[in-house]
Amino acid sequence: MLHIVDHPFVRAKLTVLRDCTTPSSRFRECVREITCFIAAEALRGVELESCRIKTPLAETTGYRIAERIVFVPILRAGLGMLEAAESLVPGSPAGFIGLERDPVTKLPREYYCKLPEATPRSFAVLLDPMLATGNSLAAAADLLKRAGFHRIAAVTIISAPEGKKVFEARHPEIEIFTGCLDERLDENKYIVPGLGDAGDRIFGTVHR
């Protein structure tokens, strides 16, 4: 199931991301800012445990995150989201999945996978700015499941209907949280209107 985080600040920052005149430095900032909003929604259902704490005035009941949150960016664009996601759960472990799109078949090829150990209380959150064809995100979810992760969510910034359909068919139980569902994919499998290649724009490797 796909959830759109329809927040005014997400809309405003998405506009900055879409603008082709936005420099890489500002693009990276907006990716981090939007990630905080969307990842917070993805973690809304996280389990808590109560604890006793002492304020300057009295004792009271507080709460701690009971699950082991593991953030897993899909390289390389997902790296631009990791710092923001980790700021929500400081000290959380991270895994890394490297996938690249075959220029001919358009299907993902794995070139790197390093994940923390899955525990019964692990909650893995996939990070990728764009859900385009859905194949990369679905392949990453396959890797998480094979590694023993059973509770998984995905955080994206923009998504395409085609990718939503593919991912939901392969992983119907995994919730996707995104900032916007765009119109379509073009003939080259890029999201329209989209924001271009997120990895190139985050890391300043756009060739003009």
60 forms beta bridges with: 53
Q: Can you give the length of the chain in residues?
A: 208
Catalytic residue among 121, 200, 201, 205: 200
Selecting among 18, 28, 101, 170, the annotated active-site residue is 101
State whether residue 113 is helix, strand or coil: strand
21, 55, 60, 105: the catalytic one is 105
Q: What phi and psi, each to the nearest 5 degrees, are found at residue 54?
A: -120, 120
142 in active site: no
Is 101 marked active-site?
yes
Is 197 annotated in the active site? Answer: yes
Catalytic residue check, 105: yes
Residue of 197, 201, 205, 208 with catalytic role: 197
The rounded distance, in Å, linking the Cα atoms of 117 and 204 is: 33
C-alpha to C-alpha distance for 101 and 9, rounded to whole angstroms: 31
Contacts of 64 (CB under 8 A, 6+ apart): 48, 49, 51
**From CA 33, how far away is CA 58, in angstroms rounded?**
35
Give CA angle at 77 (121, 69), nearest 5°: 10
Catalytic residues: 101, 105, 197, 200
